[in-house]
Amino acid sequence: MNHFEFDQGELSCEGVRLSAIAEAVGTPVYVYSTATLERHFTVLRDALTAEGIVDPLIAYAVKANPNLAVIRTLARLGAGADTVSEGEVRRALAAGVPPERIVFSGVGKSADEIAFALKAGVLEMNLESEPELELTSRIAQSLGLRAQVAIRVNPDVEAGGHAKIATGKADNKFGVSFAEAQRLYARATNSPGLKPVGVACHIGSQITDLAPFEAAFGKMRQLVESLRAEGLGVERLDLGGGLGVPYFNQPTPPSPADYAAMVARATRGLDVSLAFEPGRVIAANAGVLVARVLHIHERPEGRKFAVLDAAMNDLIRPAMYDAYHDIRPVLPRDAVGVVYDVVGPICETGDTFTRDRTLPPLQSGDLVAFMSAGAYGASMSSEYNSRLLVPEVLVKDGAFAVVRPRPTYEDMLARETAPAWQEP
Ligand code: LLP
């Protein structure tokens, strides 16, 4: 459930008309709902605790939507953060996530990033390879610390979904095999700079079936048991993120309650504290991208293009993953639907949001909203074609605030510097 609804015929967010935001901030613009972010977090947390999972760490995957105001909304409810770069660690800290609720994951952390995270006192480094284990141990030792680490395992399960976001098969770059995990865990135990506290996995994203999770979690359980059988202590099990969301006409994902019941089944009696790294399930349906129709361009042979002022640099998911986003006119006309190709102004054919989509009739100047765009939307935006970075707005209870302003063209140009030999 989300808080984007039609109110007196006009698409609104928590009582704020999207047209009012477009008027004030311009388009394209991302709009996020505080109530929806909060709801998604609490529904997941309550589902887990209702299953008897005590004090789960819900480490919000910052990459889904790294805006400080979004992270802060969740941090105030007790969320932790799953981070994959120094930038994300800094964002989580700046938004008020306590370091002891921050997990640092990722296959390629640099020495500087590791040192920064250790000095900041993050809860756990999720190690993805032997060289990373050695590097982390050396850095921790040089800082006079013992880094709490988890070994990220690649459970080798097929999670479905788009190939570009599957992470849990043995031929993906993520994590180590179960055999390697056993060896590295023992090695970490004997490394002066490290204290292994657990094991972690993350099998992919937009997963719409519980079976791959259950298969992976069953294997993780066996790993915990066999590590313990060797006398190694395991306190924590990080089960990653990946739970899918309903993108309108897409397969219906399991509910947080079904997911929680499965987690409880898979981990019953294991006596570990559980961590989760949800991103999309919290942020996707809490945000929309509002754009304006620039032109309706009609080919003589019949194809109709709705050309928007938003483009693939603002929302890359359709171009990159063939992702489906529901598109709703903000003030729909009550008339027979028309078939459109909805495109942006960027100079490549990939800048097509959808082809042959039946929508209410559109005219130049109309506003449309891309639904379910709160996760991996603004987060993956760029300035391609020297378009200004898309602004972001957060709504709460009938009020809204710009939480990332649109830069000016002067800002954009001022970031670059001329080499000395080009000076006049
Ligand atoms: N933890 C780790 C280690 C991850 O790599 C990811 C996502 C998550 C948690 C959060 O997964 P979620 O709950 O959001 O599914 N840009 C793509 C999605 C990439 C996901 C990458 N990793 C998209 O737009 O669909």
What are the tens digits of pLDDT across the range 333-348?
988 999 999 999 999 9
Residue of minimum CA distance from atom 7 in ligand 1: 205
What percent of the chain clears pLDDT 70, i.e. is strictly above it? Answer: 97
Instruction: Answer whether 165 contacts ligand 1 (Cβ < 6 A).
Output: yes
Mean pLDDT, range 271-300, rounded to an integer = 97
CA distance 315 to 405: 17
Measured between alpha carbons, how far is 231 from 328 in angstroms, rounded to an integer?
Answer: 57
Which letter does DSSP use for residue 161 in this model? S
What is the C-alpha separation between 152 and 82, in angstroms, rounded? 13
347 in catalytic set: yes
Task: Count CB atoms within 10 A of the CB of residue 149.
Answer: 27
- For the domain spanning 4-32+284-414, the CATH number is 2.40.37.10
How far does residue 59's CA lie from ligand 1's centre (Å)?
12
Paired strand residues for 394: 32, 401
The pLDDT score that the predictor gives to residue 342 is 98
pLDDT band with cut points at 50, 70 and 90 for residue 33? very high
The predicted pLDDT at position 169 comes to 67
Q: What is the pLDDT at residue 392?
A: 99
CA distance 203 to 215: 10
Which residue owns the Cα nearest ligand 1 atom 23? 376
Cα 151 to Cα 220: distance, rounded to the nearest angstrom: 11
> What is the pLDDT at residue 23?
98
- End-to-end CA distance of the chain: give it in Å, rounded: 59
Look at residue 153 and tell me whether its pLDDT is greater than 80: yes
- Ligand 1 binding pocket mutation candidate from 277, 324, 372 (most atoms within 8 A of CB): 277
Query: With 0-12 CB in 10 A as exposed, 13-18 as middle and 19+ as buried, what is 229?
Result: exposed
Q: Whose CA is closest to 125, among 92, 145, 147, 107?
A: 147
> According to DSSP H, which parts of 274-401 are helical?
280-283, 317-321
Residue 168: pLDDT band (50, 70, 90) is: low
Is the shortest distance between the CB of 384 and ligand 1 below 6 Å? Answer: no
Q: How far apart are CA 152 and CA 240, in angstroms?
A: 10
CB 188 within 8 A of CB 197: no
The finding on whether 56 has its CB within 6 A of some atom of ligand 1 is: no
Under the phi-then-psi rule, with left for phi > 0, alpha for psi from -120 to 50, and beta for the rest, what region is 322?
A: left
Q: Is a pLDDT exceeding 90 seen at residue 250? A: no
User: What pLDDT sits at residue 252?
Assistant: 87
If pLDDT is split at 50, 70 and 90, which confidence band does 156 have?
confident
Residues 6+ apart with CB under 8 A from 385: 311, 313, 345, 346, 347
Are 285 and 2 in contact, with CB atoms under 8 Å apart? yes
Pick the more confident residue, 164 or 271.
271
CB distance 28 to ligand 1 below 6 Å:
no
Residues 61-84 have a mean pLDDT of 98
- Average pLDDT, integer, range 264-280: 97
The pLDDT, as a whole number, for residue 166 is 66
Give residue limits of the domains in the chain: 4-32+284-414, 34-282
What's the rounded mean pLDDT across residues 58-76?
Answer: 98
Q: Tokens standing for 387? A: 């378009």
**pLDDT band at residue 43 using 50, 70 and 90 as cut-offs:** very high
* Residue tagged active-site, from 1, 54, 229, 347: 347
Distance 4 CA to ligand 1 centre (A): 24
Is the Cβ–Cβ distance between 160 and 214 less than 8 Å? no
CATH class of 34-282: alpha beta
The pLDDT-based confidence of 165 (bands split at 50, 70, 90) is: low
Q: Nearest C-alpha to atom 5 of ligand 1 is from which residue?
A: 202
Mean pLDDT of 98-123: 97
Averaged pLDDT of the chain? 95
Q: Give the pLDDT mean for 202-214.
A: 95
**Ligand 1 atom having least distance to the Cα of 316:** 24
Task: Measure the CA–CA gap between 82 and 373, rounded to whole angstroms.
Answer: 20
The CA 220 to ligand 1 mean position distance, Å, reads 19
Indicate if the alpha-carbon torsion angle 371, 377, 378, 379 is positive or negative. Answer: positive
Strands of 282-407, DSSP E: 287-298, 304-308, 327-329, 338-343, 352-359, 367-370, 392-396, 399-404
Residue 170 pLDDT more than 80? no
Ligand 1 within 6 A of CB of 253: no
pLDDT value for 254: 95
Which residue is closest in CA terms to ligand 1's atom 24? 376
Report d(CA 209, CA 325) in Å as an integer: 20
